[in-house]
């Protein structure tokens, strides 16, 4: 059997391929990783989410909804991996991730409180389910193509390869994205491009963000909406 000679492949393809293999491995190990990451106290985190912290952090529900379902401009938190949420809060507190709204909130929480809040939201049910759409043909829309196949000519892997079928997330490194709005997705793409967020494992998202257009982001969000809420997607598509 012939062996693949990686020396003949573009370096970007090799790097993306390695990242995708790591994502697949993380997906296979996700249940154990989830248990290891839940080192916070969910009950204590629930109190902070509902009422804020003694250190001055506002109640999370004010912006992220009563059950972490998200609101316009603020992402859903329910069901995200505890390790991912805790890391984002720690990065916001340390300044590695920038946000005029969230950085002061994260700084007002102790390290234990950040772990508690992460554990609480991870204990809630993710509002989307694991589902894979049919592999699109070349005549299908760009959102389906990007999510299920990627755009290898530009070194962009399929969203599903890292974020799981239906965008439900894979472990602590690849969050659920299948329920995010196009506006929020675009805001995070902009943050990566401006250096306001860490680029992720092996710098993958930082590199991908530079290659995604605004139309790409809208198409991906619209495709996820059709997967998870076809009735709403149909209503939105009507003239």
Give the C-alpha separation, 213 to 106, whole Å.
30
Give the C-alpha separation, 16 to 10, whole Å.
10
185 is in an annotated binding site: no
205 is in an annotated binding site: yes
What residues contact residue 97 under an 8 Å CB cut-off, 6+ apart?
88, 91, 103, 191, 196, 197, 198
81 is in an annotated binding site: no
Give the C-alpha separation, 164 to 174, whole Å.
8
Of residues 197, 201, 190, the one with CA closest to residue 102: 197
228 is in an annotated binding site: no
Which amino acids are annotated as binding site, given as ranges? 60, 63-64, 102, 159, 162-163, 205
Which amino acids are annotated as binding site for heme c, given as ranges? 60, 63-64, 102, 159, 162-163, 205
């Amino acid at each position: 059997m012939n062996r693949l000679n990686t020396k003949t492949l573009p370096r970007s393809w090799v790097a993306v391929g390695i990242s995708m293999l790591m994502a697949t491995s993380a997906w296979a190990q996700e249940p154990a990783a989830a248990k290891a990451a839940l080192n916070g106290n969910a009950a204590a985190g629930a109190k902070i989410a509902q009422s804020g912290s003694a250190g001055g952090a506002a109640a999370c529900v004010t912006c992220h909804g009563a059950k972490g379902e998200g609101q316009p401009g603020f992402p859903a938190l329910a069901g995200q991996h505890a390790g991912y949420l805790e890391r984002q809060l720690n990065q916001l507190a340390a300044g590695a991730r920038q946000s005029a709204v969230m950085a002061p909130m994260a700084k007002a929480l102790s390290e234990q409180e950040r772990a508690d809040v992460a554990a609480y939201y991870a204990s809630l049910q993710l509002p989307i389910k694991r589902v894979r759409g049919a592999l699109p043909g070349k005549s299908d829309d760009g959102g389906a193509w990007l999510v299920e196949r990627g755009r290898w000519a530009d070194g962009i892997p399929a969203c599903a390869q890292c974020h799981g079928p239906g965008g439900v997330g894979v472990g602590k490194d690849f969050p659920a994205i299948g329920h995010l709005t196009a506006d929020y997705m675009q805001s995070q793409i902009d943050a990566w491009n401006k250096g306001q967020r860490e680029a992720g494992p092996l710098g993958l998202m930082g590199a991908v963000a530079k290659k995604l257009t605004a139309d790409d982001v809208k198409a991906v969000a619209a495709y996820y909406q059709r997967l998870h809420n076809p009735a709403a997607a149909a209503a939105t598509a009507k003239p």
